[in-house]
Amino acid sequence: MTIRLGLQIPNFSYGRGVGELFPSVIGQAREAESAGFDALFLMDHLYQLPQVGAPEDPMLECYTALAVLASVTERIQLGTMVTGNTYRNPTMLAKIITTLDVVSAGRAILGLGAGWYELEHIQLGYEFGTFTERFERLEEALSIIAPMLRGERPTVAGKWYRTENALAAPRFRDDIPILLGGGGEKKTFRLAARYASHLNVFAPLDQLKAKLDVLSRRCEEVGRDPATLETSALVGVHLDGVGEPAAIPAGMEGLMITGTADQIAERLRTGVLDVGITSIVIHAANQGHLPGVITSLGEALGAVINT
pLDDT in tens, 39-97: 999 999 999 998 888 999 999 999 999 999 999 999 999 999 999 999 999 999 999 99
pLDDT band with cut points at 50, 70 and 90 for residue 112:
very high
Helix axes 208-221, 188-195, angle to 10 degrees: 50
| 219 phi/psi in degrees, rounded to 5 | -65, -45
114 sits in the region (left: phi over 0; alpha: psi -120 to 50; else beta) called: alpha
- Could you give the domains of the chain? 5-305 (3.20.20.30)
Helices H / strands E in the chain, number of each: 9, 12
DSSP string of 150-207?
TT----EE-SS-EESS------SSSS--EEEEE--TTTHHHHHHHH-SEEEE-S-GGG
Contacts of 16 (CB under 8 A, 6+ apart): 24
CB 108 within 8 A of CB 128: no
- The closest of 179, 108, 169 to 142, measured between CA atoms, is 179
- The closest of 147, 1, 168, 173 to 96, measured between CA atoms, is 168
pLDDT, mean over the chain: 93
Q: How far apart are CA 165 and CA 151, in angstroms?
A: 11
- The closest of 275, 277, 271, 266 to 307, measured between CA atoms, is 266
CA angle 120, 65, 43 (to 5 degrees): 45
| Model pLDDT for residues 217-241, shown as the tens digit of each residue | 999 999 999 999 999 999 999 998 7
| pLDDT at residue 279 greater than cutoff 90 | yes
Q: How far is CA 203 from the centre of its chain?
A: 14
| pLDDT at residue 214 greater than cutoff 90 | yes
- Determine how many CB atoms are found less than 10 A away from the CB of residue 35: 21
Q: Which residues partner with 201 through β-bridges?
A: 182, 233
Tell me the three state secondary structure of residue 22: helix
Q: How far apart are CA 184 and CA 115, in angstroms?
A: 13
Please report which helix (H) or strand (E) contains residue 77, including its range: strand 77-80
| pLDDT at residue 294 greater than cutoff 90 | yes
Tell me the three state secondary structure of residue 103: helix
| 178 phi/psi in degrees, rounded to 5 | -110, 130
